[in-house]
A and B are shown apart, each in its own frame.
Chain A
Amino acid sequence: MKAKIRKIMTVVDETLNEQGQEVSPPIRRAAAIAVIANPFAGTYQEDLAELIDVGEELGALLAERAVAALGIAGDKVESYGKAAAVGENGELEHAAAILHPKLGAPFRKVLGKGAALIPSSKKRGGMGVVLDIPLGHKDAAFVRSHFDGMEVRVTDAPRANEIMVAVAVTTGGRPLPRVGGLKVSEIKGEDGLR
């Protein structure tokens, strides 16, 4: 692997009850996070191809870990998202190189499909920084019930010369959606939007 991984963390949350209302079946959300060395920490590097390839590797690895932690088949995943936090000696563009050019294709392959844009967020920060991974329906970005976010953190990451890369997958949207908009039952699934 090109990625020099220090640790991998998986997190699953399962909501059974919200505001006194039973959530049935419970909604599960899983994230997989890799903490890797940043090969370009402390320098300005024009060509970010190495990190683009790292993104491709991590797209497959993290998607497999997250789906396994969720405990369902990849094609049953309903929404997804991705995010990265760069340690203080790195550059926001390093997160972009990992997340945007090549991470999506292997991630979608694990899910069978995924027509919608994978929503993303990125930041630079110190150890224990909180990463809010945006979530959206994987086949139709406008499905309002599935707009959500999952907060993750790794206590001892990212160190100054590290990058933390995360993907998230779910079995459903918010626990008690009731603000209207496009419903899952109305997805056409042609353009990734509706």
Chain B
Amino acid sequence: MPDVKVRKFLVSVEEIHHEGGPVADVPPRRGAVLAVIENPYAGAFHADIQPFMEDLKPLGLEMARKLLAAMGGEPKSIEGYGKGSIVGEAGELEHAALWHAPGGYSMREVLGGAKAIVPSTKKVGGPGTRLDVPVTHVDASYVRSHFDAIEVGIPDAPRANEMVMALVMTTGPRVHARAGGLAAKDIKGEDGLR
């Protein structure tokens, strides 16, 4: 099994006081953790790539813990999440899909059980590529106030033989959420949707 070789991590946290409306009593936070890793399958077609999914699980956990710590360390404070991946030019979009299991399960484990599917996005791109990582509520995908996205990227990554793996979390709704729909207080919490 290939090793996971990390070149760098990037952690960012935004604290939003307002967006033209009333200043929030507790400013919501939006955070991201990115890892730049070597793509073991770059440069050639490999039919069997699934073993790397297992290898990525410890990295996913490490990233989820790093991000939670940067967000204040309290699992219950996390209300939204998402994940994404950028594959360098010698790789293939399918390599980004390897993040599906390790990225999602690591956040659920660190957050102590979250019911909703982790929304995701992926692309192939060069260094500095930006990725808009979608965000939805951790327990009910349809909560409208928590639909959001966090733009991430690293100036010097991914190089051709690298991949950027991303996890994102939020501590609340959009700062001035007022577009109606299912509210967080009305979540039933049975199916991960409503």
Q: Which residues of A contact B (CB under 8 A)?
A: 5-18, 69, 151, 154-155
Contacts and interface: CB of A to CB of B under 8 A. Distances in A.
A111 to B, nearest CB: 21
A151 B155 contact: yes
Contact of B15 (A7, A17, A151): A7
A7 B7 contact: no
Given A69-B70, A155-B151, A9 B13 contact: yes
A6 B14 contact: no
B187 interface: no
Interface string B1-41: 00001111111111111110000000100000000000000
Interface residues of B, number: 20
Contacts of A9: 12-15
Interface on chain B toward A: helix, strand, loop, or mixed SS?
Answer: strand
B67 to A, nearest CB: 11
Nearest to B154: A13
Majority DSSP secondary structure for residues of A touching B: strand
A6 B151 contact: no
Contacts of A11: 10-12
Given A8-B15, A154-B14, A14 B9 contact: yes
Contacts of A13: 8-11, 154
B17 A6 contact: yes
Contact of A14 (B8, B13, B27, B155): B8
A5 to B, nearest CB: 5
A152 B99 CA distance: 26
Interface in B133-187: 151, 154-155
A7 B16 contact: yes
B10 A8 contact: no
* 4 pairs of A and B residues whose beta carbons are closest in the complex: A11-B12, A155-B151, A14-B9, A9-B14
A21 to B, nearest CB: 11
A14 B151 contact: no
B75 to A, nearest CB: 20
Given A13-B154, A69-B70, A151-B155, A5 B17 contact: yes
Given A9-B14, A10-B13, A14-B11, 4 more contacts: A7-B17, A10-B12, A12-B70, A16-B9
A13 B32 CA distance: 12
Contacts of A15: 7-8
